[in-house]
Amino acid sequence: MLLIPAIAYITLRSPAVQTYLAGKAAEYLSRELDAKITVGGVNITSSLNIVLEKVEILDKENAHLLSTQRIILDIYRISIPHRFLAINKILFDQASLSMVMYEGKDEHNFQFLVDYFAREETNDTLRLPAWDVIVRSFEFREASLSYANHNQESLVQGFDRNNFSIGNLNIDVVDIFFEKDTLQADLVSFSFDESRGFQLTAARGELFLSPGSAHLQNFEAVTNQSQLLLNFVMEYDGYHAFQNFTEDVGFTLDVKPSFIELYEIGYFIEDYYGLEGKVDLVGSFSGKINNMRGNNIRITYGTLTEFTGNFNFVGLPDIEETFVNFSVERLVTHKADLESFRLPNSFSAPYLNLPAELNKLGITTFSGNFTGFMHDFVAFGQFNSRLGQVNTDIAILAEDNFKEISYSGNIATKNFNLKQILDNHEEFGSVSLSSYIEGSGYNLDNLDVAITGEIQSIDFRGYDYRKLQVDGNFTNRRFNGNILIDDPNLFLDFGGIVDFGEQTPLLNFTAQIENANLSILNIYQRDTLYHSIVSTTIHVNGSGSNIG
């Protein structure tokens, strides 16, 4: 009896027998799959592993579908009477998969394989029952795959989802466990090179897949320029939900400290192609693509830019039509960082072209809320910069890549450096005010703004004026309105126009002045012992020296 296994082994090691078995294997698989399949050879190793050499499957058009130099089956249990096969590992060495949607067809060339493995068991009593096969692990080594949809045009830029190829594909999956319709496995390694330059250098994690959810736990991925550490859960009502991923697939994404090159996001999402910039990221994201929430988010970019807070996006992937609500715990940035951010090609300009006047702000911090669209939003909160503090509840509309800006709402400043805003005008210092403004522009030459409110204090010629009321319009260096000052050293009721827009100033106003202490106001110094106090009513209508 001991000779039987030895004789069987020697017989199976015979080249003639292995050639015969290869033919029979190809014949069986061809019949089962109704496709042309060839097997170059079958080898039984000394450890009783089965090796299939040079396996190739053709599609229904007799074109290459799947091939591999060898398939190694590490079998640890087999029962022919019970039609049971337990495989410790399947290794696909140098496998090649060609997926094609032929012109005029509505199914891929591999659909017949999907149909075969998805078929339900029949009641045909003449048909032998299917084998019960368990696979504990599998590996693809130096594999490749390609995809071509001949019914769609190739994309010129970024990842071409209609025509792509992947090489140097390596996958190692272990601890595979099936229970009914649920799969669990550990992804030990995953890497590939995409034909247009994208590389997944390494990836690993724990997988869970069912008809209602998918989990990717303790996932780590390294690409050309990014490194991600995360836990990811998707929830859906059947696999058909992926046909409308943005609306029908919910997700929860917990990102551990990671860094991302935004170009790689734009590479795969056409609307964001051209986006560039490296960001460091940590936080939790949830919802659906078209209604996404972010909690406890921290993002850093450039030399100083940092965002900490929460957000809600409604409307993605169309970024121009996406409604955003940022709850900002802390935002730090400056003009150079913002202008270095490369925008997607779908934008009218590759970079933001912000007003030069923003350089005067230096490093700026903000806490509060941004609500609205990218070019039409409300800013509610507190800004702090080297010029001082500004509190806003203001709507902002930006057009032509922020070259044209209009705004309306409430604004309050505290010790804001007016001298810097007015191009180092030596006579002005800081200003604290509370007012409602409505207008457009951002410098003296294009400013067109209506202002109503109170100026608590303003420094002019070294004197700090108190209790000013303003109601008027400022347009292209021209003020038209009313100013009321009720300061201990000056009462002024001004109404009219002061226009410094021309080389020769234009003046048309009436001003009632009471108890103006010109000495304390640093307007006129007669001597050091006496104050110059003036009360009068002035009517002015003219320009330059022609004042009447």
Same domain? For 496 and 512 the reply is yes
Domain boundary among 352, 377, 408: 352
- Looking at the structure, tell me whether residues 70 and 189 fall in a common domain: yes
Are both 334 and 228 inside the same structural domain? Answer: yes
Residues 246 and 333 occupy one common structural domain: yes
Three-state secondary structure call for residue 154? coil
Residue 169: name the closest of 144, 204, 187, 138 by CA. Answer: 144
Which pLDDT score is estimated for 89? 94
Give residue 31's pLDDT band: very low, low, confident or very high (50, 70, 90): confident
Domain that holds residue 148: 59-117+128-209
Q: Check whether 546 has a pLDDT greater than 90.
A: no
pLDDT range class, residue 405, cuts 50, 70, 90:
confident
Q: Which residue has the tokens 């021309």?
A: 502
Residue 457 corresponds to which amino acid? S
325 and 235, same domain (yes or no)? yes
Q: Hey, how many other C-beta atoms are within 10 angstroms of the C-beta on 225?
A: 14
Residue the block writes with tokens 């090796």: 51
Identify whether residues 284 and 322 lie together within a single domain. yes
Residue that terminates a domain, selected from 167, 182, 209:
209
Number of domains in the chain: 3
What's the residue count for the chain? 548
Structure tokens at 479: 């003020």
Q: What is the pLDDT of residue 433?
A: 92
Q: Give CA–CA dist 180/420, Å, rounded.
A: 71
In a domain, 335, yes or no: yes
Q: What is the largest CA-CA distance in the chain?
A: 132
Does some domain include residue 171? yes
If pLDDT is split at 50, 70 and 90, which confidence band does 120 have?
low
- The confidence score (pLDDT) of residue 262 equals 92
Is 280 in the same domain as 341? Answer: yes
Highest mean pLDDT: which range of 45-59, 149-163, 302-316, 417-431: 302-316
* Residue 154 shares a structural domain with residue 274: no
pTM: 0.77
CA pair distance 15, 386, nearest whole angstrom: 85
168 lies in some domain: yes
Residues 56 and 70: their CA atoms lie apart, in Å, by 10
Binned at pLDDT 50, 70 and 90, residue 25 comes out as low
Has residue 107 been placed in a domain? Answer: yes
pLDDT, tens digit, 9 for 90 and up, residues 242-258: 888 888 999 999 999 99
Under the banding of pLDDT at 50, 70 and 90, the label for residue 195 is: very high
Residue 90 domain-assigned (yes or no): yes
Task: Confirm whether 363 is domain-assigned.
Answer: no
Structural domain ending residue among the three candidates 352, 370, 390: 352
Higher pLDDT among residues 35 and 395, named by residue? 395
pLDDT on residue 481: 94
Question: Where does 291-358 have alpha helices with state H?
Answer: 335-340
Same domain membership, residue 344 and residue 242: yes
What pLDDT is attached to residue 12?
A: 53
Q: 218 and 318 in one domain?
A: yes
Same domain, 251 and 159: no
Res. 131: pLDDT tops 80: no
Q: Which of 133-147, 372-386, 401-415 has the lowest mean pLDDT?
A: 401-415
Q: Is the pLDDT of residue 529 over 70?
A: no
Is residue 314 domain-shared with residue 215, that is, in the same domain?
A: yes
What integer is the mean pLDDT of 33-40? 84
pLDDT band, residue 77 (cuts 50/70/90): confident
Decide if pLDDT at 232 tops 90: yes
Give the integer Cα–Cα distance in Å for 368 and 179: 49
> CA–CA separation, 311 vs 223, rounded Å?
27
Is residue 135 in a domain? yes
**What is the pLDDT at residue 527?**
60
SS3 470: strand
Residue 15 counted as domain residue: no
Mean pLDDT of the chain: 86
Whether pLDDT at 543 is above 70: no
